[in-house]
Amino acid sequence: MALLQPFLEVTKEACDTAFDVNLRAVVQVSQIVARGLIARGAPGSIVNVSSQASQRALANHSVYCATKGALDMLTKVMAMELGPHKIRVNTVNPTVVMTPMGKANWSDPMKAKTMLDRIPLGRFAEEQDVVDAILFLLSDRSSMTTGSAVPVDGGFLAT
């Protein structure tokens, strides 16, 4: 969840909301899932949804970048602590995704151009692009992948 505000205008409420949604909720839900898997002695996989903004500073995204950066680190710690229980934890880090919110926020061609010019593939992600990456990370095909942040960004982070 992104509440876009310049750093000097970030309110306590916006900060609390972003941390509640982007980090605290992930901790609480992941604890429930992990405890259930451990109690059953079952292996498993958890995939968190982060953002390219966890690794690149974006103007007016200070709290969003901070919460997504924290989520990437949480993912690594979870992978380390849950690995002995055969639970893998990874994150996907998409660029702008063309959800209804993404379409509304990035429909202005001039605004979109500034981001698209930084994406080597020249397009924003579709929802299915992110779903496919998540399904791979949940599958046995990624059985040796844990603690990883997988970009779904058309090469944005490579530039």
Domain range summary for the chain, segments of one domain joined by +: 7-158
pTM value is: 0.93
34-64 in b/e burial notation, b at 16+ Cβ within 10 A? beebeeeeeebbbbbbbbbbbbbeeeebbbb
Summarised one tens digit per residue, pLDDT across range 86-136 is 999 999 999 999 999 889 888 899 999 999 999 999 999 999 999 999 999
Q: Which residues pair with 91 in a beta bridge?
A: 48, 149
Q: Which residues are catalytic?
A: 64, 68
What is the residue-averaged pLDDT of the chain? 96
| Average pLDDT over every residue of 67-89 | 99
CATH of domain 7-158: 3.40.50.720
Query: Coil, strand or helix: which one is 96?
Result: coil
Summarised one tens digit per residue, pLDDT across range 45-63 is 999 999 999 999 988 999 9
